[in-house]
Amino acid sequence: MPYVLPKLDFAFDALEPHIDARTMEVHYGKHHQTYCDNINKALVGSPWAEKPIEEVLKNLNKIPDDKRTAVRNHGGGFANHNFFWTCLSSKSAPPTGKFLEALQKSFGSLDAFKEKFEASALGQFGSGWAWLVFPSPIDKSPMGSLEILNLPNQDSPLSIGKIPLLCLDVWEHAYYLKYLNRRAEYVKAFWQVVNWAEVARRYSEEQ
């Protein structure tokens, strides 16, 4: 079965004014769709096409040489956007409970976490993503141990053994229509639409 775009939980204009409707429409309908089409083309006839995209990305080193770059770029682009949409909500409410404690333990406070995450998003030269992850399954502790990292292009944290919890797309296509070159404003606005409930749910699943 070829991969298909997930249905969005919200309308294109639901995240206004922080993420504008036109950007959502083009980002989902054009950029994300193109990654989806291209990974489907790359994996035609391959047994990997039958696997969930997350499993494919976790096994990037096992993908045949002639397909590995396409999987890394288009498979990564497909999976990263699938994940990104679940990180967004028009009904954002601050994190609470055990997940908030984990952020505090790992970074000092929620504000300190945000500051570090913003620095990571702004520090990504060119296109890429900022991520909040579990460092790796073997490093997991019951509380804390969260890590921020930025990765270039469409590289997935899954390919380096990390477990993603939250991400932010800092490709220009994610913000240029509204924010032009002002990535910092876009990154600040992101906090208004983070789906913390979903991030916390993922965190509790990994405990």
- The site for Mn ion (CB under 5 A) is made up of 169, 171, 174
Residue number, 106 or 195, with CB nearest to Mn ion:
195
* Distance from C-alpha of 151 to C-alpha of 73, rounded to nearest angstrom: 12
Backbone CA torsion sign across 44, 66, 170, 156: positive
Minimum distance from residue 106 beta carbon to Mn ion (Å): 26
- State which residue, 155 or 169, has the beta carbon closest to Mn ion: 169
Nearest residue (beta carbon) to Mn ion: 169
| Cβ–Cβ under 8 Å, residues 146 and 103 | yes
Compute the least distance from the CB of residue 79 to Mn ion, in Å.
12
Shortest Å distance, C-beta 81 to Mn ion: 6
Using only C-alpha atoms, the chain has a radius of gyration, in whole angstroms, of 17
Q: Is 86 exposed, middle or buried (0-12, 13-18, 19+ CB in 10 A)?
A: middle
Residue 151 Cβ, how far from Mn ion at the closest point, in Å? 13
Which one, 80 or 89, has the nearer CB to Mn ion?
A: 80
Q: Other CB atoms closer than 10 Å to residue 12's CB: what's the count?
A: 18
Tokens 């939980």 locate to: 9
CB of 69 to Mn ion, least distance (A): 18
**Residue 27 DSSP label:** I
Would you say 102 or 167 has its CB closer to Mn ion? 167
Residues with Cβ within 8 Å of 40's Cβ and at least 6 positions away in sequence, in order, are: 2, 3, 49
Q: Read off the tokens for 141.
A: 């502790």
Rounded least distance, CB 6 to Mn ion, Å: 14
Closer residue to Mn ion (CB): 171 or 196: 171
Number of alpha carbons in the 13 Å side-chain half-sphere of residue 63 = 24
For residue 124, give the amino acid letter.
Q
Nearer to Mn ion, 173 or 201 (CB): 173
